[in-house]
Amino acid sequence: MCGIFFCLHQGRNLSPDPDSEAPSFHDIRAALKTVNAQRGPDAQRTVSLTIPVSPLAYTDKTASPIIHLEFFSSELRLRGTAPIVQPHESNNNILCWNGEVFEGLNIKPDQNDGAILFQELCKLQSPLDVASLFGSIEGPYAFVFFHAASQHLFFGRDPLGRRSLLTHRPTPLQPHLLLSSATCGPSPGYDFEELSSEFLHYIDLSCFVDEVCLSTISRQDAKSKARTLFAIPSPINPVLPPDDFPKLTSLDVIPPHLSQAVDDLINQLNRSTRLRVLDIPSIDCNLIKSSKVAILFSGGIDCTVLTYLAHRNIPLDEPIDLLNVAFENPRKLQGHPEHAKRENSGKPKQPKRPVYMVPDRLSGLEELEELRRLCPDRQWNFVEIDVPYAESQAARPTIEALMFPSNTVMDLSLAVALYFASRGVGQVRQQKDSKPVPYVSPARVILSGLGADELLGGYSRHRTAFTHGWKALVDELQLEIDRIPTRNLGRDDRIISSHGKETRYPFLSLSVVNFLASLPVHFKLDPRLETGVGDKMLLRLIARKLGLVEASQRKKRAMQFGSYSARMHGEKKGDAPLE
């Protein structure tokens, strides 16, 4: 994990226009370096490069015939045993790497994946070679790579957009190209947007003429019949069930036709989780038995299955942190119409629930007890992260700046929850009724269950689609996969990484995505069954087989509603822009 900042300019028009409110180039560059340094507290470095360009190539004879390239990276060390300082550099080849390679390259536990990838990139000859290499690796990533021999600058994100990379394209007022993992919020004159993950992008600097000319490379060579394994997600299996397809009678009984799928998905998820929790280096030799892995934990089925699989793959003497966040939401504590009716009815008042006993806290505590029964030898640190209203509001400007360019009411509700959960500042209890003690999670890797609803049919919109038949449901699931790169992952990466931590998504391994895409739709869900059984049916069967009985029957609840981070100020629609 790291923060990336890159800029390309010609050394002109760098002074601010006296009539403009836009910050100077030097100010915005310094600000972006600062926010990206927060993502990688272990090391930061800048590498600068100038490339002479023939004046004959310019129509503007006043322009500088020199292109200035500046590469900045910060490093959060999570792979290998030796300290790494980025950018990677050799013979004027330069790589800023914010990612993890979990499959596709032979990387030993003591090696750094970015260093190995850089060696491979330096050997390549053409843009198609670069696309082919990235299509052969699996993991979340964003990168900027300058290939000296060809004078090509490449940049991009993984096919699912699991890591943030924002771009400011040159404008007459701000004629420089900027790439950054994060921003400081909206800035006059700078229009940052998420870089599309549909393609890889490049600039041929050997034929630079007056302005930046961006080109794209397809992730999958259309002329090649052989599909590169991790270039793009596999399409959804279009096979529909027969008309007399029987309904599941109980989660306790796995139908014969689903037996293999259940075992295969357990193996796929277990492998994906194992790759994401093994070989994480200790940041301090005195903290060997401290938590290296934390889980965004609501007690729901998605995070609980991952928690149990993480337990299988993490040494028993290493605690696991369960991050459970709850908000003081004034609208939930007072002023609700139904609450007012009860208060004025003359009937005996019901005892008020403690402020932080929100739905996700209650289900999280219930699931904690189930995990303790199944895994009694593990130290589970259930981190109660209680956020007073005043504290959440004080952090709002910071959170809005981090999540930008995402700027809706729903974006803020989710970003607030993720910001405080991933910060990991709370309290833990050794036993259910023990006195809580302050605790700050030292874990740098955070697992998230995001992706299960999209891949296995966990949203109410899947039931709505099914009212038009199985084919409409298949189409909706295909849309889910197609939309993953443009939805929440970049925003979530900017929020969580601001604490110097990295999110990993076992459900969104392309190996898991492709496996689930290959299954017929009726193997994954059955909207004919009631909620809590038919939605994510295959995952519920897995949870029950693993012994997670309580988790297997929990219904879907969105994080912002389970933690009470939503609707603190009114009933605005989620897609409404922030004021």
Residues identified as active-site: 2
For residue 359, the one-letter residue type is: P
For residue 363, the one-letter residue type is: S
CA-CA distance, 408 to 575, in Å (whole number)?
A: 5
CA-CA distance, 292 to 282, in Å (whole number)?
A: 8
CA-CA distance, 481 to 478, in Å (whole number)?
A: 5
CA-CA distance, 418 to 488, in Å (whole number)?
A: 12
DSSP H helices in 54-155:
113-122, 127-134
CA-CA distance, 384 to 230, in Å (whole number)?
A: 38
- The strand order across the sheet containing 445-447 reads 437-440, 425-428, 380-387, 320-327, 293-296, 445-447, 502-504
Backbone angles phi, psi at 510, to 5 degrees: -65, -25
CA-CA distance, 436 to 324, in Å (whole number)?
A: 14
328-355 burial, b for 16+ CB within 10 Å, e for fewer?
Answer: bbeebeeeeeeeeeeeeeeeeeeeeeeb
CA-CA distance, 221 to 347, in Å (whole number)?
A: 71
72: which residues sit within 8 A by CB, 6+ positions away? 3, 4, 5, 6, 33, 36, 44, 45, 46, 47, 87, 96
| 364, 298 contact by CB (below 8 A) | yes
Burial class (CB in 10 A: 0-12, 13-18, 19+), 553: middle
Tell me if residue 158 falls in helix, strand or coil: coil
For residue 137, the one-letter residue type is: I
The tokens describing 271, both together, are: 């492998």
CA-CA distance, 423 to 342, in Å (whole number)?
A: 38
The per-residue DSSP string of 483-541 comes to HGGGTTHHHHHHHHHTTT-EEE-GGG-HHHHHHHHHS-HHHH--TTSPTTTSTTHHHHH
